[in-house]
Amino acid sequence: MAADRDTKLKIVAAGVLAPSADNSQPWKFSLSDRGVLIGADPARIGMFFDSALAATQMSLGAVCENMLLEAGRLNLGAQLRPLPAEPGQTLPTYALDLTDDPADRDPLADHIPARMTHRGLYRRRAMPDREALAAIAAALPDPLGCRLDWATGKDARQGLQRAVYLADLVRFTHPTIHRDFHDKLRFGHQAAATRDGLDAATLGIERLLLPILRLLRPWPLAKTLNGVGLKHIMAWRGGWLPMASAPALGVLTARADVGYFDMGRALERVWLAATRAGLAFQPLGALPLLLVRATRMGGEGLSGEHRHLLEQADQAWRQAVPHLPRGEQLVMIFRTGHAMALAPHSQRRPQASFLA
C-alpha cells in the first residue's frame, strides 16, 4: 500500500486549500485502497456564476493539482484519472491513485498553504522583476493547452480594465448575482461560524464601506441606487481601481479544445508561481464565467443589455492580447504585484465535513 490514512488526509488537506467561486468549497472526498476519490458536492453548486458548472469544474481542477503537488512533496507517485459517471451524476469523479514510485518534486507544492486571493490595493510602481514574471509563465506545462500573456502597454492595460469594468456592470445590476453574492457574504462571527463563503474581511475594501454593503442586501434598494449611478461606483471600486493599482496584469487563455478542469489546474499553477515569487494575486473571475453563460448557454438568464455589455467586454479583452490564436478561450484575467497591506486568508471548513 503506497500511503496510509494519515498521508491520504494530508493530501486531502492540500486539496481543500484550492480556490473556489465565492469560497463555496464545493468538494467531497473519500479515501480508497489506492488513494483518494475527488468529486463535487451537489449541495454546494449551482450559483448563477457557475455557468455550465464551469466554476465548479475549474475548482476541481485546482483541487486535483494541489493534491498531485502534495503527493510529490510526500515522495509519492500519483496518477489522476476520471471515473465513469454514475446515473444522474452531473460532474465526473476523479481518482488519485498513489504509488511508491515518486515523481519529480515540484517546488510549487511548498506554497500551497500561502496561496490566497489578495483583493486590496497594490503598489503600482513596484513592478515585479522580469525573472518573476517569466517564472509565472513557465509554470504552465504544455499538455494543459494554456498560455499566459502580460498586458505590457497602456492600451492593453486599459482594454483589460474596460473588459472587467463592463462585466462588473453586469455583476452589480443582475438580481440573481446580487442575491448569490449576499447569500455568500459573511460578517464577523458568522464567518468564523460557517468557515465558508466570502468573509467581508477578505474583500479588500475600506472599513467604512462594510456597513454600506450590509445595507445594500435588499435588491429593490440596490436597484434604485443603481439607477442613480451606484453601479458605476461599484464597478470602479470593485475592478477598475484595483487593476489600476496593480503593476502587472495578466491574461490566461486556453485552446478551444481545453476543458474547464484543465483550465483550473493551469490557473492554480500560475497562482502558486506568483505566490512563490512573493507576489499578491487576484483573479477577476466575473468576465470569464459570464462569457460561458453568454456563449455556451445562449445567454440564458441575461437581459439584452447584459448580453450587449458582455459582447463589448469580449471584444475589449481580445483586442488587448496581441497575436491571440484563433478560437482561444478566456480562462482568467488577473492582477499581481506587491500588496500595500497584509490581508487575511479565506477560511476552510473542518476536514471532516469534506469526507464521505
The domain spans of the chain are 5-113, 130-337
Residue segments in the chain with a per-residue pLDDT below the cut of 50: none
* pLDDT, position 316: 98
Could you tell me how far CA 5 lies from the centroid of its own chain?
29
**Fold matches, 5-113 and 130-337:** yes
Q: Is 168 in contact with 235 (CB distance < 8 Å)?
A: yes
CA gap 34, 27 in Å, rounded: 19
pLDDT for res 1: 54
Residue-by-residue DSSP string for 135-188: HHHHTS-GGG-EEEEE--SHHHHHHHHHHHHHHHHHHHH-HHHHHHHHHHEE-T
Which CATH number does the domain 5-113 belong to among 3.40.50.1820, 3.30.930.10, 3.40.109.10, 3.90.228.20?
3.40.109.10
CATH number of 130-337: 3.40.109
Q: Which helix (H) or strand (E) holds 247?
A: none
Cα 135 → chain centroid: 20
Q: What is the pLDDT of residues 183-235, one digit of tens each?
A: 999 999 999 999 999 999 999 999 888 999 999 999 999 999 999 999 999 99
Tell me the pTM.
Answer: 0.96
Residue 180 and residue 219 in contact, taking contact as beta carbons nearer than 8 Å: no
